Chains A and B, each alone.
Chain A
Amino acid sequence: MPSVTAPPLRAVLAEDQALLRVGLTRILEASGIAVVAAVDNAPQLERLLEGGDFDIAIVDVRLPPSFSTEGLSAAIAARAARPGLPVLVLSQHVEPIYARDLLASGEGAIGYLLKDRVADVDEFVAAVRRVAAGGTVLDPEVVAGLVSGLGNGTRSRPLDRLTEREREVLTLMAEGRSNAAIAARLFVSEKAVGKHTNSIFSKLDLPQAADDNRRVLAVLAWLQGQT
């Protein structure tokens, strides 16, 4: 479903598994995103990121030669050199601590998703576009981990003050969704979502944040502060 309004995006891809590299390329190309380079190892990825001639880099966490977290390190290093460089990190399993490292690498234009999410093509492509546009996308799994981690400690009280619906909204906010997206997801009006977010912010003593990105960071900082 190539978007008519958005400008055509140029993506670079780093994924060592041929099967997945081909699958990702197909999905991106079919969705009107040009894959200008696809590499399968960390040194080549580093060169690509240095070049910076792209709108978004989609990077596997684990890459040759040592199969640990080369992709993640390369992304963080590149963003240190060029703040706001849009990177979407993909992985077969998510670790909240990696999410924290990524978020710490500067505001916005960052994403961290399970590879499973790629199968929902429209959602995935939307996430790619959101990161390319400077947004933040976090895998629901990471957010769920942070939110559920709160249930255990004694300091979990603040979360108890939220209603069931407010907790849903909080989770979706932490994933990096806008009010409009949350409204669509929960089948409510955008105005209702606005009311929920205001209520959440005041119940949790969070600073009000205008744009989605700051909002994600505020929510995540709050979640991490609680765990």
Chain B
Amino acid sequence: MTDWSAMSLQPITTVRPAPVDGDALVDRLRLTAVSLGYALSMAPALALGILSILCIPLGLVTAGFVLALAVVPATAALTGLHRRVSGRLLGEEIATSYADTTGTNVVTRPVRWITDRARWRDVGFVWFSATGGFALSVLPVALLVGPLTHVVGAVVDGGFWWWILVLLDGPLLLVWWLVTPALVRARAVAERNILGSARVAELERRVEQVTTSRTETLDHSAAEVRRIERDLHDGAQARIAAVGMNVGLAEKLMATDPAAAAELLREARETTVDALEDLRSVVRGIHPPALADRGLAGGLEALALPIPLPITVTVDAGELPAPVESAAYFAVAECLANTVKHAGATRAWVRVRHDGDVLHLVVGDDGRGGADPHGSGLAGVARRLAAFDGRMVVESPAGGPTVVTMEVPCPQ
């Protein structure tokens, strides 16, 4: 865009008639010029509108497909221009959301288009542009051009009727002054509402995404709770019950068989140590103490420490919200567990960086690759991250290396 167009497409700040000054006059003149542009686009819009409709019956024979391949992109180009112009006038962005056509060919692409609501909105738009939109935009131009024509006619021709028309110019110009900003704004708003209802589609998609990720998160939480219950039941709870049995029996044997009683008590003592170890590991699985005490950096270092591989941990992130920290910690933990179990790596690395908006996590190793992003472990990580709108990309060609890149939006 040139400076001129940047200037002429500044947002419409006011539609009030006052003040009456040079700036306001310039503003109205530029809006009249924009209106002229809007009005002129009626010609291509009408042509594209008719051709679009023609595509449907012609689709029965090959011609419709050929026509669509030309008409639909041309329509998109025209609506794209309108989006930019109207968006600038309203000071906001009018987003598009065409259905993805990657991987389609000349036959399947028109088929995809015909089911795409955003493309149909384009068709609706060109018809608006050729009819009601044209009427809205031609008015400011006519109200300004009319009086100018009368004056020129009166001077050149000098006829009586010309002068009568010149007398009407006052009211016409007054109307022009009053309605131009409002009409241009009305047209821009109409364009946004037709083309920008992409926002509704965008929100619908977002809601769908959130619903899916919420369901997955709930499933995941339920599975986690179940795992914790199982760990407690099979671990600490069982061991403590066994301690009770041993001590109970020891109590009973104390008088009759002190040696056996002592042996039972010794066993019981050892079992309490195991029970505590079980409890500690359950606690680590819920909220690791190192993470709680020292944040993500300390938590990840503590995580890497007992792993029998050299692991480089670099963390460049300030304080993060606790749920994000926890999700990041367990995501890295799962990746490293995979590395240890499957990769046969000689070294691994963890890089964490927070750029103010997004937390980037990279876990890599020099192992044999072939990690399956749909395996239960990594899929679980993806689910955990989805709860935070996070993403995970697994690159793991056969022969390695494996690099898992994760991103979690986390504005500071």
Contacts and interface: CB of A to CB of B under 8 A. Distances in A.
Interface string B91-129: 000000000000000000000000000000000000000
Interface stretch (B60-68, B193-201, B241-249): B241-249
A79 interface: no
A27 B237 CA distance: 19
Contacts of B249: 23, 26-27, 30, 121
B251 interface: yes
B248 to A, nearest CB: 4
Contacts of A23: 241-242, 245-246, 249
A130 to B, nearest CB: 18
B271 A121 contact: no
A31 to B, nearest CB: 8
Interface string B249-266: 101110000000000100
B233 A19 contact: no
Contacts of A26: 245, 249, 264
Count chain A CB atoms within 10 A of each CB in B239, B241, B247 and give the residue with the most.
B241
A118 interface: yes
Contacts of B239: 19
Contacts of A31: 252
A32 B244 CA distance: 20
B230 interface: yes
Contacts of A24: 245
B238 interface: yes
Interface residues of B, number: 19
B171 to A, nearest CB: 82
Interface string A1-23: 10000000000000001011001
Interface in A132-169: none
Given A67-B230, A92-B233, A119-B247, A19 B242 contact: yes
Contact residues on A (Cβ < 8 Å of other chain), bracket: 20 to 34
Q: Is the interface of A mostly helix, strand, loop or mixed?
A: helix
Query: Which of A19, A67, A122 is packed against the most chain B CB atoms within 10 Å?
Result: A19
A116 interface: yes
Nearest to A1: B252
Contacts of A119: 241, 244-245, 247-248
A19 B234 contact: no
A19 B238 contact: yes
A27 B248 contact: yes
A24 B214 CA distance: 45
Contact of B241 (A1, A30, A116): A116
Nearest to B245: A23
A19 B237 CA distance: 12
B241 A20 contact: yes
A118 B252 contact: no
A134 to B, nearest CB: 26
Contact of A118 (B230, B237, B241): B241
Interface of A: 1, 17, 19-20, 23-24, 26-27, 30-31, 62, 67, 92, 115-116, 118-122, 124
Interface of B: 230, 233-234, 237-239, 241-242, 244-249, 251-253, 264, 271
6 contacts: A17-B242, A19-B239, A23-B242, A26-B249, A116-B244, A119-B241
Given A67-B230, A124-B248, 11 more contacts: A17-B234, A19-B238, A19-B239, A26-B264, A30-B252, A92-B238, A115-B244, A118-B248, A119-B244, A121-B248, A121-B251
